[in-house]
Structures are given as C-alpha cells and as structure tokens.
Structure 1
Amino acid sequence: MVVFQPLAGIRRRPLVAAAALAALLGTGSAAAYDWKPLPEEPPSPSHNPTTPAKVDLGRKLFFDPRYSATGTVSCNTCHNVMEGGDDGRPTSMGVHGKTGPRNSPTVWNSAFASVQFWDGRAKNLEEQAKGPVLADVEMGVKELQVALNVVASIPGYQELFKQAFPEDENPVTVDNAARAVAAFERTLITPNSPYDRHVKGEEGAMSEQQIRGMRTFNEVGCTACHGGPAFNGPQPELPEGSGFYQKFPLFADSAYVEKYQLLADTGRHQVTGKDADKYMYKVPTLRNITLTAPYFHNGAVNSLREAVLIMGETQLNKQLSEQQVDDILAFLEALTGEFPAMQLPRLPSRSGESVIRDTVTPVTGGAH
C-alpha cells in the first residue's frame, strides 16, 4: 500500500504530501513535473492475457442484466459506457430500487487504477468484477455460482466460454466470467485527449488557458495525488494491488466537511479495521472528469467547480482564487479523451424460456 507520510510544521492537520508542501511554500513548477500521456494500448496482464474472444464474451456479460437477481441490473447500469462510465447518480441504484453508500466510479480507464473500489478492497479488475454481483444493493445474487448457473443455462454462452477459454476442459466458471469482464473493461481507455496531444508536442492542442491551468494544477499541489498518466497516482509503475491512497479530507476543519458530510464514511478503514486507514481512499482518475458528476465517494457534490474549491481547502489548505479555479477547470476539460466506438452486443438467449429467477409484483394501471 502506498500512502503519504506525515510532515511537520503545516497548519491544521499535519498529514500532507511533499509536492503539496512545496506548493504551499511557493516552490511548485510545471516545467519540473514529468507530464505523461495515457498509453494508447491497454495493459494485458500475464495472469489474464487479452484476446478478442475474451473481450467479446466480457462485453456481453457486461451488458447482460439477466444474471442479477431480478434481471434488471447489468454492469452497464451503474457504469454506463455510452456516457462517462458512471450513472450520474450520487449513489447507484440496484435491484428492487436499493441504493448503496458510495458513488459509482467511472469504468473508463479503470485498467490504469492501482486498485479497485473506493476503498481498494479489490486488487484488480478480475476481483472487482465479482463484487457487484453479490452486493445486496447492486445485483443482489446470494452466491456467485447462482449467477453463473443462469449464464451456463444459455447454450450461446456455453459456446462463447469455450471460444474464450479453449484450454479449459470446463470453461464456464465464475473465475472465467470475471476474467472475461475484466478483459473487456481493459479495452475501455480514452487516449489522445487535448492534454495527451499537447505533451506529445502537438502545437495548439490545448488553449492558452488550459496550459495555464495545467501549470496552476501543479503549482498549487494537485499533482501530489493526481499524477501519472491517468491522474490517479504513479501508475502504471506501481505493482498490481499495491494501492495508491490518500486521506480525505486531509484538513478536516473546513466548512465543506460538514456541509457535504465528508467524515460520515471512514473509507478503507471499513475494510481493514485499522485506525491508520480511517478516511483513506483510492485516488480516483481525473480523466473525463467533466463527464462524471456528481463527485467524491458519496456523490454529494454536483458541481465540478465546487469540487475544485473543496479540494483546495480540504486537501491543500488553500482558498483558490477565482482565476485559479477557472484555469484548473479549463485544464480538466483537456483531459477528456477519445472514446472508442461502442456497439451494443447481441445477447444469447435460451429458446422459449426465461432465465430470470426473481419475480416482481407488477404495478396495475400501466401499459406497454
């Protein structure tokens, strides 16, 4: 696990990153920071090499709601790849209208995250893919095998698993389903943003204000946490599962903390039970950030401008000027990349028979 170490002599609470300290002392330099573009090819880990057959199977599973308890919730329900990769809600809605406690992170560029979920409880996309299926407020299935049985009962899926995992004697397994979904999710990257083209040397890729905002973003200390090619830490250099976390809020006496209930959730502490992990969260990507409102782990902040102001006070102990905020917002717009063409898949069916298990009492008076 990678976290920041405490440094002495800072007003309010002492835990602050070295780059943020430099910014507070006025020593930040955009020229000195190593700006990196997003890789144009997604990673293909040795434990789950990407293949077209895996991606095809994973795409179908990602869009298929039928292995949720009610047949109403798919991965895409909360991670809508037709938009920002989230669902635009403060917290996502799962089966039977239940909602969870945290905001849905974007699935775009999740391949470059150090760990998965806000609290880092999954070390990679394969582990993450299993979590929502079992969550009572998401897909609501009691056991992973129950969900897999639904998939296994559809002949078309049986053939797709054989194609994706030809080396397996019995390819229709929970682990293979998770591997397929993860393989598809790793293709969801958005390179070639104005920022990427700028750092590769393309003249005019970013506006003057965006370039000024890029400099401001570094000088005030934002790159202390939101660095690296995905602006979520020093990935992809970190080993898989090591985790890049930061305490939020860092300066807890800001009025924003009470206004948006930022201390109501203890973050990674809920996973580990360790006091040192209280209010620690995975640092999220800033790629396509203008498309993923509302913001923060609880989705309580609807405006990106407000989010920037909050980060200034609670993380950097700074009250940013209107000009600084305007310039940073302009820079954040330059982080919206190019989205690959996305075609809805045709899902296999079981002829003449439904595979959905739960029944829902219909509301009378409606029409279809």
Structure 2
Amino acid sequence: MFFETRISVDGNVSCSHCHLPERQGSDGLPKSFGVFGKANPRNAPTIFNAAYQFKAHWRGDRETIEEQAEKSPTGPATFGNPDFPAVIVKLKSIPGYTELFGRAFPGKADPMTQKNWGEAIGAFERTLPQRTRFDAYLKGDTKALSPAEQAGLQKFIDIGCANCHSGVGLGGGSFAKFGIVSDYWKETGVADPDKGRADVTKNDADLYVFKVPSLRNVVATGPYFHDGSVADLTRAVRVMGKTQLGLDLSDKDAAAITTFLGALTQSVPINYSAPTPFPDTPRE
C-alpha cells in the first residue's frame, strides 16, 4: 500500500511519491507536491528513520507514524480523498487487497479499516531503519569512522549540537524553537516564516517551535529545515550554529561537522521498492 498510486484521487500519488529511494527516503524538493500538483506546506523528511521519532510531522500534529498513515489519504494536498470510506471503496475494487487484509488481520468481520491501513503501513515503515557506520562506531568499532569524521563528531558534541540532536535518531525526540538566539528567517532568507506548533496548539509559547529533525541520512536528504529553505548542508550547519547556539562557525568547524554527518547515511532497505501491482478490476 505504501507504493499504491490508485488510492489517490488523480491515480498518481502514493506514500512513496514523497519518499524516494534515490533520495534516502525524501524527495529532494523544498516542499512536496501531491495530487494534481498541489504543494504541501512543508518539506518531506526521510521516511527511513521515522519509526525512531517521538511524533510525526514537523509540528508534531500526528502522534505516531500509524496515525500519520491513517490520515494521509484524506489530506487535500496528498492523496486528496474526501474521507476514508472513499479509500476503502478503492481498495476493495482492486483484487488482492481484500485477501491480504484478511490474512494480516485475521478474525475480523471486516479487516479493511482505516486503523488497519495505518497499522499495516506503520509496520512496513518500522522495517526501514538500517545501521550506519556511526552505529558501528558506537558499538566499539573505532575504525568505522575516519579521523576526520571523529574530529567532526567531537566538534558536534563540544559546541552543543548533541544537546538537541540526541538519542537513537540524533534528533526526532523533542521540540525546540527554531531561532533560540536569533530569528531563523533572517538567516534562511524566508519572507513568510512558518509559525510552527503555535498553529496547532494555539499557544504563543509554541511560536516557531518545531520537532528537532533527526540527522540520520541528512547528507542525502536536502534541502533542509521545515521549509526546505537551505539547499547546502554546510550552510544549514552554519544557520543552526547561529540561530540555536549564537555561534559564527568557522569554515573549518562547519566542514568538520558536515564530514561527521556523512557517517549517518544508511543503506537503502532491500524491501524499499514497489512490488508488482495487483491488476485493476476487470472492466466490462
């Protein structure tokens, strides 16, 4: 179902539409496009490590990847369906899905539900994280990182990047204001800054607050930030140094951190490819 385009209103969009294998599970666009070319409001992060994160979406308005999967088919700029019953009608019209839902959710009178759609896609997404050279280094393989990468890791820790970009995902486990020290849009050149979680919670304390992004696969998943406003990773590192830490990073330090980030790239999962699609319902 993750690769199924026939669920969308225009027949061209699937979950994988915004999460490409050649872009490490992202799409390389500042903001993604959904049905009929409609622009999404924010950048699509990589799906490869979404299972590690404490909430879904930049503003954390989805509690889990399962909830995110449940609601995507009715997003006006994603799949475009008016409601989930319309999705069920499409699924039941494609031979194969009824049998697979029955096998995946046995004992249910009607296993083809919105909740089970989310559970199934979430189960697939939880197979996608893969170990990186950095994980091998943490396991004790000191040769997994080059001397330059190790120096970059030390700088990453010393200046405070790891205070937010922590945990198994090197981020993705908390919220933080983008622009603790200075306004982020002044550094990224954005004319109309996104208000972040404040639009969700209606709380002024959440103004410009976003989920701290995971840095796994970051080298291959630009452009960066919630609005895709910065294309170059080294520049993004500089923006973070300035806005979050109040530091004007030297060329040497910014390059060192960027070099370390290259050790966070995983391989593309072997199961991350579209299966042979079920045939369309025969037409009379």
The alignment's TM-score, normalised by the length of structure 1, stands at: 0.74
1:231 counterpart residue number: 170
Equivalents in 2 of 1:194, 1:98: separation in Å?
38
1:187 to 107, 121, 127: 127
> Equivalent of 1:201, from 140, 162, 173?
140
Counterpart contact for 1:256–1:310, Cα < 8 Å: no
Show CA shifts across 1:327-353 (max 9, x none): 101100011123321342112223423
Task: Give identity over the alignment, percent.
Answer: 39
Please state which structure has a larger fraction of its residues in helix.
2
Pair 1:278-2:222 in alignment = no
Structure 1 residues 351 and 140: CA distance shift in structure 2, 3 A: closer
Is 1:214 equivalent to 2:144 in the alignment? Answer: no
Q: Distance in 2 between matches of 1:93 and 1:255?
A: 23
Where structure 2 has 5 or more consecutive residues not aligned to the other structure, the ranges are none
Equivalent residue number for residue 252 of structure 1: 182
Give the conservation status (yes or no) of the 8 Å contact 2:182–2:246. Answer: no
1: CA distance between counterparts of 2:178 and 2:59?
Answer: 12
Please tell me whether the aligned partners of residues 194 and 205 of structure 1 are also in contact (alpha carbons under 8 angstroms). Answer: yes
Q: Is 2:106 aligned against 1:166?
A: yes
Query: After the TM superposition, which of the residue ranges 106-115 and 252-261 deviates more from structure 2?
Result: 252-261
**Aligned partner of residue 65 in structure 1, secondary structure:** coil
Residue 262 of structure 2 corresponds to 333
Partners of 2:197 and 2:184 in 1: CA distance: 22
* Cα distance, 1:82 vs structure 2: 4.5
Distance 2:80 2:241 in 1: 38
User: What's the CA shift for 1:63?
Assistant: 0.2
- Cα deviation for residue 257 of structure 1 reads 3.5
Secondary structure of the residue aligned to 2:143 is coil
Number of aligned positions between the proteins: 283
Q: Are 2:28 and 1:88 aligned?
A: yes
Secondary structure at the residue paired with 1:209?
helix
Output the amino acid matched with 1:272. Answer: T
Structure 1: give runs of 5+ residues left out of the alignment. 1-60, 236-243, 355-368
Instruction: Give RMSD over aligned pairs.
Output: 1.7
Does the 8 A contact of 1:248 with 1:315 survive in 2? yes
Return the offset for 1:81: 3.4
Q: Which residue is equivalent to 2:193?
A: 264
Given the alignment of the two structures, is residue 313 of structure 1 paired with residue 253 of structure 2, yes or no?
no
**Cα distance in 1 between the residues matched to 2:217 and 2:73:** 26
Relative CO higher for 1 or 2, CA cutoff 8 Å, sep ≥ 6?
Answer: 1
1:198 and 1:205 in contact (8 A); partners too: yes
* CA–CA separation in structure 2 for the residues paired with 1:152 and 1:293: 37
Query: In structure 1, what is the equivalent of residue 61 of structure 2?
Result: 121
* TM-score, scaled to structure 2: 0.95
Instruction: Please give the alpha-carbon distance, in whole angstroms, between the structure 1 residues aligned to 2:189 and 2:250.
Output: 21
After TM superposition, give the deviation of residue 326 of structure 1 in Å. 1.1
Cα distance in 1, alignment partners of residues 227 and 49 from structure 2: 21
